[in-house]
A and B are shown apart, each in its own frame.
Chain A
Amino acid sequence: MKLKRETIYGYLFILPWLVGFLVLVLYPMIQSFYYSLNNMRITPLGLKFIYVGFNNYRDVWLQDMFFITELFSFGVDTLIRIPVIVVFALVIAMLLNQDVKFKGLFRTIFFLPVIVASGPVINQLVDQGATAIPMLDQDVIMSILTSFLPNFFAEVVGNLFNQIITILWYSGVQILLFLASLQKIDPNLYEAAKIDGGSSWECFWKITLPTIKPIILINLVYTLISLANSGQNPIIDLIYANMFNATRGYGFASAMAWMYAVIIALMLLIIFLVFREKKSTRA
């Protein structure tokens, strides 16, 4: 057998990713699954394990009162934040797709938070209140919201205003993806629609949106994953806290991480089922 030169090049190019995936993703995943089936002690003489089967998974639901409440609040939070982020990204992408001066500069500006606002930087910004709009009076917003919304939901929506800048900063990659997709739409389609008397509004619904629909799904998935992994996510903090907790430790924390991953996978499945391309039933 002779491998094609292109094939070899192809695999060489993806080799760094493959090695990274195996060492930094697959191996830790297997390790974490193994931990989750054990009670683990970090002794000065090495790691010690006591096999407990799936008890840690059961205990995550029965013993940690914060997990369920944080999961619920993450679910409601996500339900509100994902549409806000994706719609905002689409609007900005459409604006950036116009023929305006300094287009490149604007694109850079909207992508910049992706690079700058990572990890500790974003934590500092949140702590210092730099992620809220100063003119917005949070108390007034809350009192209005609670007057017609149930408390738990009003809190989530109120939080949205409080962290609106952070939320919008999560839009950088999505804007880029939308932009790439928008640029691939054939201008002739718009031209033909205009000739037929179509308004901009109609063009958006009949041409733009159907064309970029697959990218909407990708952006929804990307947004959910980035929110789920965010350093601002209290469930991540909870997993970390359990990792170093005296009586729970790595085994319990790993089980919690796996349960969390399953929940996220279910949310992804729901998004996929709702937004996937449906095959036309017409012949």
Chain B
Amino acid sequence: MTRKSWLLILSVLMALVLVVSGCGDDGAADDGGNDSNAETDGGSDEGNDEGTDEPAGLPPMTEEDITLTYASWQNFELQQFLAEKFMEKYPNITVELHQLEQEGWNDHLTNLASTGDLPDVFWYLGNVDVPIRNMWLGDFTELFESDPESDMILDTLKDQGYFDGERKMAAPAGYLPYTIFLDENLFKAQNVEMPSPDWTWNEMIDLIKTMTVPEEGIFGYNTFTKLVTMGPIVNGDNIGEFGWDGEKYDLTGWWDDSLALHAELVRNGNHSPFFDTDEAEAAFGDRLLWAASSGRVAMQMDAWWTVDLFKTDEFVDKGIKWVPYVVPKGDEASTENKPAFVDFGSISAATEHPREAYELLKFFGWGLEGWDAKLEAFETLTREDGTKVFTHPDGLPIVDDAATWDRLRQLLPEEQYYDDFLARAKSPVPLGGAAMPGFQTFLDEVYFGGEYGDIEAAAINGDVNPYDISADLTEKINQYHQQALDELFY
């Protein structure tokens, strides 16, 4: 081949490379884009007098035709229902729902963000470090603080989302309490009285021991939710996991006590055998049997969403009657703080309509009107075959509004247990990952994947003494928190 033909080929290749490079979107990297703290759009400046529906203090909503995008892992039929209600209230706003798999949720959001399609309103899953690091969280401090409805949020949730103590960048949008189920029939069979709804931590531990009857193959408790999460919150009056007091973590208080206690209970046979182990096979004759459905476990430490499952025939036919209790109060505690699964949402830092996005976030999350619509959905939504979509309400209210809680109560079984439960479930404390910067990264890199391996498993196996490492872990988790906070100011 001649030199000229080589040159021709090389020129074609070069042109291709240039075309491909030109297709990149690096330009966006330096693009100032929209200011996430931009003032509300024209509507607010024009002083709309017709905005009588607006809560006092908030700027009015726009009257222009706009579209807002929304992504959460709530039941999709519920989302559609709520979106319709929102659009009924604001006919000029179209709500488009993103339907994403809950598995890999933050990865899906990352992909959307990479193409500039992060929804205007979104929930993030479990780890707040992901949206913080990628600067997804919009600052809605002014909107939140000028909104009268914000005062109705449950006390322990109101201040969540002020990650740096100043800017409101996320808000609770879903609430499912930790729930301890007691098998009432098993208690009766053992002639052990059911505890008071105001039971305490030590009473629970004593009951676990009392209800462990090795000769009958009965175990005191089984865990999905953990003592090590509950202990510091209910005993130390903490407002976050691992001894968080609002400024720093401290694992040297109740964390090490709770983990050591759990390890001891497991080693002593108070805890039911773990799933898919030889011990489970020896105890239940089936290593894959869920201990909670064996009829030989007195307490199942679980979550609110399991209420529905425990009402099904599978359990009723086996003579198991699981009844819900709140996590007990610490014996010396002064608050009713209880751990809870709290989902968080935010508005995109790039949304062009922060005022309206805030309203949508509120409607789907803590807003009273939104809760009215949610309760209506719980009561009325049916599938094509006539069955109800919700046999059990999906979560508890985030607002302290008696009418909302009373209406929700009507959707639950009539037993007194549920009255007692709801009355004591109004001080939820969110788990660390979604609420506390640096927490989940600490879990991933130190707590479950650091030099001690899985610390909880190591403590149970006797490889690690929680008291020996709690000071070191305290120092590390506070470092992780600080590092994550620094990212907020990146």
Contact = CB atoms under 8 A, between A and B. Distances in A.
A41 B114 CA distance: 9
Q: Which of B9, B20, B349 counts the most A-chain CB atoms under 10 A from its CB?
A: B20
Nearest to B104: A244
B33 A1 contact: no
A44 B28 contact: no
B364 interface: no
Contacts of B490: 41
Interface in B1-24: 1-2, 4-5, 8-9, 13, 16-17, 20-21, 24
Interface string B103-138: 010110010011010100000000101101111100
Contacts of A11: 9
Given A44-B116, A45-B33, A244-B107, A18 B13 contact: yes
Nearest to A240: B107
A246 interface: yes
Contacts of A247: 129, 133, 441, 483-484
A133 interface: no
A27 B444 CA distance: 33
Contacts of B20: 22-23, 27
B410 interface: no
A19 interface: yes
B415 interface: no
A66 B449 contact: yes
A119 B181 CA distance: 41
Nearest to A249: B133
B468 interface: no
B118 to A, nearest CB: 4
Contacts of A41: 133-135, 490
Contacts of A47: 25-26, 28-29, 114
B349 A44 contact: yes
B34 A45 contact: yes
A44 B118 contact: yes
Interface string A66-86: 100000000000000000000
Contact of B350 (A18, A44, A49, A249): A44
B238 interface: no
B24 A42 contact: no
B350 A45 contact: yes
A113 B490 CA distance: 49
A173 B340 CA distance: 53
Given A3-B5, A65-B449, A46 B133 contact: no
A43 to B, nearest CB: 4
Contacts of A244: 104, 106-107, 110, 130
Interface in A1-53: 1, 3, 7, 11, 18-19, 22-23, 26-27, 31, 41-49
Contacts of A183: none
A123 interface: no
Interface residues of A, number: 27
B135 A44 contact: yes
Contacts of B27: 46
A245 B444 CA distance: 10
A246 B114 contact: no
Nearest to B120: A44
A242 to B, nearest CB: 11
Given A19-B16, A246-B129, A246-B133, A43 B349 contact: yes
Nearest to A31: B24
A26 B20 CA distance: 10
A22 B2 contact: no
A43 B33 CA distance: 11
A255 to B, nearest CB: 17
B258 interface: no
Interface in A236-252: 244-247, 249
Given A7-B5, A22-B13, A246-B127, A45 B133 contact: no
B46 interface: no
Contact of B2 (A1, A31, A49): A1
Contacts of A18: 13, 16
A195 B106 CA distance: 71
Interface string B446-490: 000111000000000000000000000000000000011000001
Contacts of A246: 127, 129-130, 132-133, 440-441
B16 A43 contact: no
B31 interface: yes
A247 B480 CA distance: 10
Contacts of A42: 110, 113-114, 134
B348 interface: yes
A44 to B, nearest CB: 4
Q: Which of A7, A19, A47 counts the most B-chain CB atoms under 10 A from its CB?
A: A47
A22 B17 contact: yes
A34 to B, nearest CB: 9
B354 to A, nearest CB: 12
Contact of A43 (B25, B113, B450): B113
Interface of A: 1, 3, 7, 11, 18-19, 22-23, 26-27, 31, 41-49, 65-66, 244-247, 249
What 10 pairs between A and B have smallest CB-CB spacing?
A46-B28, A246-B129, A45-B33, A44-B350, A1-B4, A44-B118, A43-B135, A246-B130, A244-B107, A42-B113
Interface of B: 1-2, 4-5, 8-9, 13, 16-17, 20-21, 24-34, 104, 106-107, 110, 113-114, 116, 118, 127, 129-130, 132-136, 348-350, 440-441, 444, 449-451, 483-484, 490
13 contacts: A3-B5, A19-B16, A22-B17, A27-B17, A41-B133, A42-B134, A45-B28, A45-B33, A45-B350, A46-B28, A48-B29, A49-B29, A247-B129
